[in-house]
Structure 1
Amino acid sequence: METEFYESYEGLRSALDASGVVGVWDWDIVRRTARYDRGAAFLLALDPGLAGQSLHGDTAMVGIHPEDREWLKTGYQRALHGGGLFLSEYRVILPSMGTRWLLSRGRIYQDELGRPVRCKGILIDITDTREDSRGYLARTEARSEHPLDRAATLLLDARKAIDEVGGEGQSHLRVVLDLALFEVGAHLARRARH
């Protein structure tokens, strides 16, 4: 039984790696810090060893393409004040892999006074699907939330719950959820481009 689980998990992990889901991020807006899993730390901070650590300022964004940093910062600042869901596509430069395109899908959470306090989301490598060289950041209105936006939010919540449970089988469940997040993210990216 354990061998079957391992083989199944390895197959899912391979599929997930091949599909492009690369990371999860969590920004504490109040403290101005970011926390990444290993994949996001590798892409955004250029060091997977920084996973789980509180990163500040440019340390958290050193991997982002220099031409994309300013418009991305400006776009995020505008999105923060509106709250809700957002999508962005931008480039990172990796010493070992060159320029890669990422889709970042996240949700901005606000306190009871409407101030942004936290932002969580996923990163997907979409380099192979890119046809042009322009990035974007789009915010969606909560009232007109598309079913795929709700699905992504629920999958992110499920991933967090699985992380809290821990124990045997957690890795397998995370891979399944990450694979589902990739598929939903890919559909959201196609929808945002049209």
Structure 2
Amino acid sequence: MATAQVEPELHSPLMAALDASGVVGAWDWDHLRHVAIYDRGAAALLAGDAALAGRPLDGTMAMPRVHPDDLGTLVEETLRATQVGGLFLSEYRVLLGNGAVRWLLSRGRTYLGESGRPLRTRGILIDITEGREDGQSYVTRPTVGADNPFEAAADHLTAARAVLAGIAPFRLRAALDVALMELGRMVAAGIRLDRTKRH
């Protein structure tokens, strides 16, 4: 989100909350046209150029910044999500132009048509680099079951954010981002709790 577009009275508390939340971008994969459409944050991190925001990008242009060691897993997880629909959750690294590495958590939902074919997958990017310093993964497989109310709420908010992306006022988009980040943390905490109980 560009700070220049924020009303002055919102800058301090709301921008501080968004900065703390770690939400850094939104993405939309159109499976019928085989293209990705990113906002400025996602375009900068995944495609390497924020100016590509809003433009349809094919597979080659859509993810050149994804770490080569993580690209295969990301593609597999994407294919799996498009085959069955529903929740998409993937954790991977991106290489920035200055050589730095950032860890991202992509969270979204795949929508299937009546025929069962995937139509689109929409979601958000969360920067989890700081949380990865202890070597712990946010994502474990299998993920928390579909009966998790926090996960269900996050799915609904992700869908709402994607639908309202181009038309919602800043305050609403910002509130959705903050709520999504908090729900994402609760889902991740639930995954960690389940993993702890198994050991």
Give the TM-score taking structure 1 as reference length.
Answer: 0.84
3-state DSSP of counterpart to 2:135? coil
Partners of 2:183 and 2:138 in 1: CA distance: 19
- Find the counterpart in structure 1 of residue 135 from structure 2: 132
Given candidates 16, 23, 26, the residue that maps to 2:25 is 23
Structure 2 counterpart of 1:147 = 149
Matches within 5 A, 1:12-161: 12-96=14-98, 98-130=100-132, 131-132=134-135, 144-161=146-163
Task: Report how far residue 8 of structure 1 moved.
Answer: 2.7
Q: Residue by residue, what CA displacement relative to the aligned partner does 1:110-161 show, whole Å, maximum 9, x if unpaired? A: 01111111100111001111132768575769x8342112211222233245
- Which structure shows the bigger proportion of residues in strand conformation? 1
1: CA distance between counterparts of 2:165 and 2:33?
A: 23
Residues in 2 aligned to 1:119 and 1:139: alpha-carbon distance in whole angstroms: 20
Does the aligned pair in 2 maintain the 1:87–1:189 contact within 8 Å? no
% identical equivalent positions: 48
8 Å contact from structure 1 (residues 87, 139) kept in 2:
no
Task: Check conservation: 1:86, 1:139, Cα contact below 8 A.
Answer: no
Identify the range of structure 1 (18-27 vs 94-103) with the bigger mean alpha-carbon deviation.
94-103
Q: Give the structure 2 partner of residue 6 of structure 1.
A: 8
Q: How many residues align?
A: 186
Kindly tell me: are residues 183 and 133 of structure 1, through their superposed partners in 2, closer, same or farther at Cα, counting changes over 3 Å? closer
Counterpart residue number, 1:186: 185
Provide the TM-score with structure 2 as the length reference: 0.82
Task: State the alpha-carbon separation in 2 of the partners of residues 144 and 133 from structure 1.
Answer: 23
**1:9 Cα deviation after fit:** 4.0
Letter in 1 for 2:172: L
Cα 1:138–1:59, aligned 2, differ >3 Å: closer, same or farther?
farther
* Runs of 4+ residues deviating >4 angstroms: 133-141
Q: Measured at CA, do residues 42 and 136 of structure 1 come closer, stay the same or move farther in structure 2, by a change above 3 Å? A: same
Deviates more, 1:122-131 or 1:146-155: 146-155
Q: Which amino acid aligns with 1:72?
A: L
SS at match of 1:95: coil
For the residue of structure 2 that corresponds to 1:55, the secondary structure is coil
CA separation of 1:13 and 1:135: change in aligned 2, threshold 3 A? closer
Identify unmatched segments of 5+ residues in structure 1: none
